[in-house]
């Protein structure tokens, strides 16, 4: 009997150890990701044939392999300004559209929607949070781009490649990011206790007063988290955006509406398209881009954690 | 009489002024309420209609390909190798992902106390969940493909997908385990069973529906992933694609789709209209798989629950 219980206790210890190792693996993986990517991130600034930080962040001429060098000497250039600007513009543009739609739908969904609508919307949101990004990209390519080509024809003067670019990328990102933001926002609103609603209604407020003066302020940090996590998702979104951008540099006239309807660039597109075929110094430039993405998404996660730590209802 | 009625008149006129004001306020409140409600209704309907329209248009445009038999073949217009690879990589990834993340969830829910360690692990999980899949794909290329000499292979792809889906699986399994009632669990411990014995005989069986649902939901993520596989599994199939060799490079439905409409458009050995048809077909297959997985995740958990509680 004593023997048996000793064995059981030993088993317990072993199981505990194995489970601990598996959980700690998560910490090991994220540290490995940070170390491996940052170990490669700065090579391009120090190696011969590389570039300096200033050129990297201010010049718009991305050609690390030098195949597009106009002089024909194959001289590489590492100006990533256009890529970074592309990522920032598409991400912000998408979130400006997503935020009102996601928050509005979330409020209607939690406070007012009839049962049948909830039972339709819930599985739809779940399916779309997991929709493959390449499927959305192909859909954008076959439906959205031809449509935008026609819409933008008066602006671009019937350019054949019009339709690709930031405009299409923003709309594709909206489809990719909306479900994520929406489901986090719904969770945040569900976390507000029923008593808050009842208290507000019993004071004689209308439904809209209840929502705008009681529920939304109470859930504001959670709604903020939803938007921030949407931003994090948008900046890292790859294939959907890559398929509808299809450019090599920023368009000629950047400060006009036509810039949204011409082939354009962002960070993730050039990595997906070109990273596999590079080596040496030109590959190091792509590691710097990956590092930028990693840092930005890490910042977003920190902001969302800070917001979550300040929320009243969890 | 008149001296008495004067204040009454003043009172009643004051009252009517107030009631008019009240009525006006009430009306404006109700109008605002109605406007806001209808705007919210409109937004929600727009979002729902967009979602439905996307699903219908994907299946509609894919239907011509889906009804064509050569679409399921091994030729250049067929997706048989990609279907095989997709399920192969799904099973290979789950072989790593399921036990590891379940064990991690057991540690966090059952063994460890709430403290600094669990905070660190949860922070790590959130941070990893926020890393873009493309960046994780590059990490997989660097560590698994280059440093561990796996080159472009199914094994490298599966290990990368393990890193990518670990945080999601952990959260789903944690939810499943922590939904087991405290009393049931403490009852086991009070009977003198070790923690592991309690977990094995009480917690895991009660959490089984949630665990199966979690497993199916991670399967959906794995089937739909592409960016993380670009640099770890490659975009092409060798001749002996229908073997279980984990060192083979291979493509999946998603990476094939990216190839024929993205980097390989025009050079894939297909005409432009064939490319479009094939892409529509693959998109439809992917969305149908996703629908199937979603329905399965809903019904399987409920089915097991019914079996368990009836038995």
The token duo for B272 is 């432009």
Q: How confident is the model at residue A43 (pLDDT cuts 50, 70, 90)?
A: confident
Question: Rounded distance, CA B247 to CA B225, Å?
Answer: 20
Question: Rounded distance, CA B45 to CA B165, Å?
Answer: 32
**Of the candidate ranges A239-248, A255-264, B22-31, B247-256, the one whose mean pLDDT is the lowest:** A255-264
Whether residues A184 and A233 share a domain: the answer is: yes
pLDDT value at position A8? 82
Residue A103 lies in a domain: yes
> Which structural domain, as residue segments, surrounds residue A248?
79-310
Distance between B18 CA and the closest CA of chain A, angstroms: 18
What single-letter DSSP state applies at residue A72?
Answer: S
- The DSSP bridge pattern shows strands A60-63 and A77-80 to be antiparallel
CB A55 within 8 A of CB B157: no
Inform me whether the pLDDT recorded for B8 exceeds 70: no
Q: How confident is the model at residue A3 (pLDDT cuts 50, 70, 90)?
A: low
* Model pLDDT for residues B276-295, shown as the tens digit of each residue: 888 999 999 999 999 999 88
Q: Which of A29, A108, A139 is the closest to B54 by Cβ?
A: A139
Question: Based on the number of CB atoms within 10 Å of its own CB, is A114 exposed (0-12), middle (13-18) or buried (19 or more)?
Answer: exposed
* Model pLDDT for residues B83-139, shown as the tens digit of each residue: 999 999 999 999 999 999 999 999 999 888 888 899 999 999 999 999 999 999 999
Question: Rounded distance, CA A196 to CA B228, Å?
Answer: 44
Inform me whether the pLDDT recorded for B1 exceeds 50: no
Residue A134 lies in a domain: yes
Interchain pair A208, B37: CB under 8 A:
yes
Question: Rounded distance, CA B218 to CA B82, Å?
Answer: 19
Whether residues A149 and A9 share a domain: the answer is: no
pLDDT value at position B10? 46
Inform me whether the pLDDT recorded for A116 exceeds 80: yes
- Span A203-213, average pLDDT: 91
Q: Which of A8, A123, A130 is the closest to B221 by Cβ?
A: A130
Residue A73 lies in a domain: no
- Span A225-250, average pLDDT: 90
**Which helix or strand (DSSP H or E) is residue A61 part of?**
strand A60-63
Interchain pair B121, A11: CB under 8 A:
no
Interchain pair A131, B290: CB under 8 A:
yes
Interface of B with A in 127-186 (CB under 8 A): 127-136, 138-139, 142-143, 163, 166-167, 170
Residue A57 lies in a domain: no
Inform me whether the pLDDT recorded for A228 exceeds 90: yes
CB B94 within 8 A of CB B166: no
Whether residues A22 and A138 share a domain: the answer is: no
Size of interface A-B (CB pairs under 8 A): 254
CB A87 within 8 A of CB A163: no
Interchain pair A108, B43: CB under 8 A:
yes
pLDDT value at position A246? 84
What integer best gives the mean pLDDT of chain B?
A: 86
Residues in a beta bridge with A164: A162
Look at chain A and report how many structural domains it folds into.
Answer: 2
**Which helix or strand (DSSP H or E) is residue A29 part of?**
helix A2-41
**Most A CBs within 10 Å: which of B50, B51, B286, as the mutation test of the A interface?**
B51
Greatest alpha-carbon pair distance for chain B in Å reads 112
Question: Rounded distance, CA B41 to CA A246, Å?
Answer: 37
Please report residues of B whose CB lies closer than 8 A to that of A290. 134-135, 138
- Span A98-113, average pLDDT: 94
Question: Rounded distance, CA A86 to CA A242, Å?
Answer: 11
User: Options 3.30.420.40, 3.30.70.2740, 2.70.98.10, 1.10.3720.10; which CATH number does B79-310 get?
Assistant: 1.10.3720.10
- Span A222-235, average pLDDT: 94
What integer best gives the mean pLDDT of chain A?
A: 88
pLDDT value at position B72? 87
Question: Rounded distance, CA B73 to CA B278, Å?
Answer: 12
Inform me whether the pLDDT recorded for B214 exceeds 80: yes
Question: Rounded distance, CA B237 to CA B84, Å?
Answer: 11
**Most A CBs within 10 Å: which of B131, B166, B254, as the mutation test of the A interface?**
B131
pLDDT value at position A217? 92
- Span A41-61, average pLDDT: 84
Residue A48 lies in a domain: no
**Chain centroid, CA A59 distance in Å:** 24
Whether residues A148 and A254 share a domain: the answer is: yes
Nearest to A299 by CA among A224, A241, A228: A228
Give the nearest chain B residue to A37 (CA atoms). B139
Please report residues of B whose CB lies closer than 8 A to that of A25. 100, 104, 166
Q: How confident is the model at residue A4 (pLDDT cuts 50, 70, 90)?
A: low
Residue A55 lies in a domain: no
The token duo for A221 is 């940090």
Q: How confident is the model at residue A1 (pLDDT cuts 50, 70, 90)?
A: very low
pLDDT value at position A125? 92
A232 interfacial to chain B (CB closer than 8 Å)? yes
pLDDT value at position A196? 92
Work out whether the CA dihedral A185, A186, A191, A193 comes out positive or negative.
Answer: positive
Question: pTM of the predicted model, to two decimals?
Answer: 0.89
Residue with tokens 């945040």: A188
Please compute Rg for chain A using Cα positions: 25
Question: Rounded distance, CA A15 to CA B80, Å?
Answer: 41
Interface of A with B in 24-83 (CB under 8 A): 24-27, 29-33, 36-37, 40
The token duo for B18 is 């107030």
Question: Rounded distance, CA B130 to CA B122, Å?
Answer: 12
Interface of B with A in 68-97 (CB under 8 A): none
pLDDT value at position A179? 94
B304 interfacial to chain A (CB closer than 8 Å)? no
Inform me whether the pLDDT recorded for B311 exceeds 60: no
Q: How far are the Cα atoms of A19, A83, A151, B200 from residue B197, in angstroms, in the given order? A: 14, 55, 66, 5
Q: How confident is the model at residue A96 (pLDDT cuts 50, 70, 90)?
A: very high
Please report residues of A whose CB lies closer than 8 A to that of B135. 33, 37, 236, 290, 293-294, 297
What is the 3 state secondary structure string of A205-249? CCHHHHHHHHHHHHCHHHHHHHHHHHHHHHHHCCHHHHHHHECCC
What percent of chain B is modeled with pLDDT above 90?
45
**Of the candidate ranges A29-43, A57-71, A292-306, B123-137, the one whose mean pLDDT is the lowest:** A57-71
Residues in a beta bridge with A264: A246
CA atoms within 13 A on the CB side of B269: 4
Reading phi first (left if > 0) and then psi (alpha if -120 to 50, else beta), residue A66 is in left
**Of the candidate ranges A71-80, B98-107, B251-260, the one whose mean pLDDT is the lowest:** A71-80
The token duo for A231 is 């931003």
pLDDT value at position B14? 55
- Span A64-72, average pLDDT: 77
* Model pLDDT for residues B144-167, shown as the tens digit of each residue: 988 888 888 999 999 999 999 999
Give the nearest chain B residue to A229 (CA atoms). B130
Nearest to A301 by CA among A220, A240, A233: A233
The token duo for A219 is 């859930």
**Most A CBs within 10 Å: which of B40, B86, B296, as the mutation test of the A interface?**
B40
Give the nearest chain A residue to B108 (CA atoms). A23
Please report residues of A whose CB lies closer than 8 A to that of B131. 30, 33, 236, 294, 297
Residue A67 lies in a domain: no
Whether residues A31 and A156 share a domain: the answer is: no
Whether residues A135 and A195 share a domain: the answer is: yes
Contacts of B94 (CB under 8 A, 6+ apart): B215, B218, B219, B222
pLDDT value at position B274? 85
Residue A141 lies in a domain: yes
Whether residues A197 and A282 share a domain: the answer is: yes
Reading phi first (left if > 0) and then psi (alpha if -120 to 50, else beta), residue B151 is in left
Interface of B with A in 241-300 (CB under 8 A): 254-255, 257-258, 261-263, 276, 279-280, 283, 286-287, 290-291, 294, 298
Distance between B228 CA and the closest CA of chain A, angstroms: 10
pLDDT value at position B273? 84
pLDDT value at position B2? 42
More confident residue, A26 or B185: A26
Q: How confident is the model at residue B310 (pLDDT cuts 50, 70, 90)?
A: low
Please report residues of A whose CB lies closer than 8 A to that of B27. none
Distance between B299 CA and the closest CA of chain A, angstroms: 12
Inform me whether the pLDDT recorded for B5 exceeds 50: no
Inform me whether the pLDDT recorded for B11 exceeds 60: no
Interchain pair B294, A126: CB under 8 A:
yes
Residues A71, A72, A76, A78, Cα dihedral to 10°:
50
Question: Based on the number of CB atoms within 10 Å of its own CB, is A157 exposed (0-12), middle (13-18) or buried (19 or more)?
Answer: exposed
- Span A305-309, average pLDDT: 90
What percent of chain B is modeled with pLDDT above 70?
95
Q: Which of B61, B163, B197 is the closest to A8 by Cβ?
A: B197
């Amino acid at each position: 009997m004593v023997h048996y219980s000793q064995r059981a206790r030993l088993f317990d210890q072993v199981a505990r150890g194995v489970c601990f190792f598996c959980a700690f693996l998560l910490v090991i993986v994220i540290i490995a990701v940070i170390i491996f990517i940052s170990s490669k991130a700065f090579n391009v600034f120090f190696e011969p044939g590389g570039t300096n930080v200033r050129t990297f962040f201010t010049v718009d001429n991305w050609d690390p392999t030098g195949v597009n060098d106009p002089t024909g000497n194959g001289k590489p250039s590492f100006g990533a300004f256009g890529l970074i600007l592309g990522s920032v513009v598409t991400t912000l543009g998408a979130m400006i559209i997503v935020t009102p739609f996601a928050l509005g739908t979330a409020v209607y969904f939690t406070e007012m929607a009839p049962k049948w609508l909830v039972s339709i919307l819930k599985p739809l949101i779940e399916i779309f949070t997991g929709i493959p990004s390449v499927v959305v990209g192909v859909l954008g390519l076959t439906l959205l781009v031809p449509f935008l080509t026609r819409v933008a024809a008066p602006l671009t003067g019937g350019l054949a490649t019009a339709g690709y670019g930031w405009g299409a990328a923003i709309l594709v990102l909206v489809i990719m990011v909306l479900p994520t933001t929406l489901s986090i926002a719904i969770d945040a609103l569900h976390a507000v206790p029923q008593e808050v609603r009842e208290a507000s209604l019993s004071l004689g407020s209308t439904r809209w007063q209840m929502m705008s003066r009681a529920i939304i302020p109470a859930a504001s940090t959670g709604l903020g988290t939803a938007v921030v996590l949407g931003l994090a998702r948008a900046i890292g979104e790859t294939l959907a955006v890559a398929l509808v951008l299809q450019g090599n540099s920023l368009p000629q006239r950047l400060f006009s509406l036509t810039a949204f309807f011409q082939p354009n660039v962002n960070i993730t597109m050039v990595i997906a398209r070109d990273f596999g075929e590079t080596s040496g110094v030109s590959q190091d430039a792509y590691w710097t881009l990956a590092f930028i993405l990693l840092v930005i998404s890490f910042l977003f996660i920190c902001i969302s954690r800070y917001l979550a730590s300040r929320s009243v209802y969890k | 009489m008149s001296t008495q009625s004067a204040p009454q008149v003043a009172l009643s006129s004051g009252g009517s002024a107030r009631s008019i004001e009240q009525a006006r306020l009430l009306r404006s409140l109700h109008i605002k309420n109605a406007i806001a409600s209808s705007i919210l209704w409109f937004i929600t309907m727009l979002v729902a209609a967009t979602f439905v329209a996307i699903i219908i248009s994907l299946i509609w445009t894919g239907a011509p390909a889906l009804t064509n038999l050569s679409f399921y073949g091994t030729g250049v217009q067929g997706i048989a190798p990609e279907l095989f690879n997709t399920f192969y990589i799904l099973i290979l990834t789950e072989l790593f992902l399921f036990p590891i993340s379940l064990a991690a969830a057991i540690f966090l829910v059952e063994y460890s106390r709430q403290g600094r360690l669990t905070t660190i692990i949860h922070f790590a999980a959130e941070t990893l969940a926020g890393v873009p899949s493309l960046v994780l794909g590059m990490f997989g290329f660097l560590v698994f493909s280059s440093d561990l000499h796996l080159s472009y292979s199914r094994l490298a792809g599966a290990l990368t997908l393990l890193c990518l889906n670990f945080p999601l699986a952990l959260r789903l399994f944690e939810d499943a385990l922590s939904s087991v009632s405290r009393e049931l669990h403490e009852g086991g411990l009070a009977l003198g069973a070790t923690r592991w014995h309690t977990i094995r005989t009480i917690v895991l069986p009660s959490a089984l529906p949630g665990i199966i649902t979690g497993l199916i939901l991670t399967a959906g993520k794995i089937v739909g992933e592409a960016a993380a596989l670009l640099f770890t599994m490659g975009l092409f199939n060798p001749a002996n694609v229908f073997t279980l060799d984990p060192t083979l490079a291979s493509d999946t439905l998603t990476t094939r789709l990216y190839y024929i409409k993205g980097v390989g458009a025009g050079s894939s050995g297909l005409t432009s209209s064939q490319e479009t048809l094939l892409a529509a077909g693959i998109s439809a297959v992917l969305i149908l798989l996703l629908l199937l997985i979603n329905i399965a995740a809903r019904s399987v958990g409920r089915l097991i629950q019914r079996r368990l509680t009836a038995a």
